[in-house]
Structure 1
């Protein structure tokens, strides 16, 4: 009797540039199209993976997570990409590894408390601790030399001389926060939020329902203020895509070989 192949890890990004960097390192990728999305099956650093572009927004993220869990039976989902910084110490070029996630635009009050998912009694969904620690460790190593990671031109253009790693609350909503008034309101209402994006909390909720580990690592592309749109495409292509590949790659490389037990 042959042992079943090990379950893959899902690597998810919202934008094509980030996914393309991962796919370029998957020599045996095989495309499977489901729900209008291309799911790429293969290996990265010896680990079985499924890479997919979720598209932007909470519904798109939730659909992608459900397909990954039902069709591909992944053992964990890791979301990578960019976010806008909210906390004062979170600057462009920093990395945020989520410890918990919340939907900042969910409000069914007065029936339920603001931010609480109706009928679940939860507003915050925990990210997987072990995966988060591994991603933070990978980020610490990668960011020691930002010039080697993204090149001198990008470091100078975006002021990436001393990027930092942060761990904490990541908030998600179905709008691109791009004004100082919006970011100020989020800081007032959610003072412990580190950064804001558009997918993570929805995917975390689906993973919670299925009991499957979820992690999110985000590169800060802007300060979610009036200048948030400036050089965004260049930042994603020259910085965030390289961060994502380096962090995900280092984390996967540190995992036990496929089929081997994890260290205790």
Structure 2
């Protein structure tokens, strides 16, 4: 399965169908444990999407998101559907893209009330920036942009819990609005998806169309009218975002290929006129009296790749010792390195796929450290060359 696709997950069949209508050439893909995905292409583009259904709830969403990431190693995972608005900032039909997600059911019950102890996951900076750009361009909606009926994209927090919120006056509704007053929308799956993305080093974006105001009007005729419209708007923005994400991935791959080719040309190296000189190089390789200035020497086989992975492990440990990597990320990074190392030693037919997936997940975990990402790039290529 190509690793240049985007995974889109939904909780409801209505949301699934809204995304599915944007895709062509759909083919069924079955996970080992029976979960079904459909893989197709966004109409009019070359962007490939793996579409899956999680059903309601953070727990179910987390499990299916984990399976999707492991199965496809996607460019990004988008969770798409409808949500209730907590405030009047967002109109019915508008789209909310999460800047961060609250798991608001974390707390402690004390004599003087319930104290909030949420978990929070921020959306990856690159995806947030791209979403903001698409909102400014405003060419994603199915309707006519610029009219009074055109949906707008809002950016802010989304609160995710374990129960359907359908009141403005209940004790829990008042508590949520008091403790999470910056949240624009409320739903039941984003926290699970965000946690799965965090543990796997996969970028996640949550995109919701506003179908109601979480005020007691769910299941009314008005809600039944707005649900499909809100789902369609969320699907339109999400597929537009998916197209741009894969386009960026292609441009990055082309840029890396260009740099690799340049490193092998006369302009990309320095020749030493002395026949037996010793040259110190911080990053690169030396052949005879030619110094090749590359980001890192390419591992040409399993043994070389394993040695390079062991070297990268020391880089990770140093970062952790210096306090740059938190304990959870450090342990997850070591786990992915171990997985890639075992795959490199594997004599089954799929070592390349396993090692590449592990290194791509590792790349997501260390994405905030450009020098580590640069060191990983040739290792990902080397893993893909395993046979």
Q: TM-score, with normalisation over the residues of structure 2? A: 0.56
Give the deviation of 1:114 after TM superposition.
Answer: 3.5
1:115 matched to 2:117: yes
Q: Alpha carbons of 1:174 and 1:145: their partners in 2 closer, same or farther (altered >3 Å)? A: closer
Q: Alpha carbons of 1:147 and 1:105: their partners in 2 closer, same or farther (altered >3 Å)? A: same
Deviations 1:60-104 (A, max 9, x none): 100111101122222311111111111342232222111111111
> C-alpha distance in 1, partners of 2:2/2:67?
19
Aligned to 1:188: 178
Aligned to 1:178: 166
- The answer for unaligned runs of 5 or more in structure 1 is 117-122, 150-154
1:148 matched to 2:139: no
Aligned to 2:225: 234
- The question of whether the paired residues in 2 share the 8 Å contact of 1:142 and 1:246 is answered with no
Aligned to 1:119: none
Aligned to 2:39: 41
Give the deviation of 1:232 after TM superposition.
Answer: 2.6
- The question of whether the paired residues in 1 share the 8 Å contact of 2:168 and 2:215 is answered with yes
1:14 to 11, 15, 18: 11
From the two aligned structures, give the one with the greater helix fraction: 2
- The question of whether the paired residues in 2 share the 8 Å contact of 1:6 and 1:259 is answered with no
Aligned to 1:124: 120
1:243 matched to 2:233: yes
Aligned to 1:167: 155
* 1:181-220 matched pairs, under 5 angstroms: 181=169, 182-220=172-210
Q: Alpha carbons of 1:262 and 1:194: their partners in 2 closer, same or farther (altered >3 Å)? A: farther
Over the aligned positions, Cα root-mean-square deviation in angstroms equals 2.8
Q: TM-score, with normalisation over the residues of structure 1? A: 0.80
> C-alpha distance in 1, partners of 2:63/2:141?
37
Aligned to 1:120: none
Looking at both structures, which has the greater relative contact order when contacts are Cα pairs under 8 Å and sequence separation is at least 6? 1
Aligned to 1:76: 76
- The answer for unaligned runs of 5 or more in structure 2 is 256-387
Deviations 1:16-57 (A, max 9, x none): 122223223332221123345321122223122211111111
Count of equivalent residues:
243
Largest Rg, 1 or 2: 2
> C-alpha distance in 2, partners of 1:138/1:86?
24
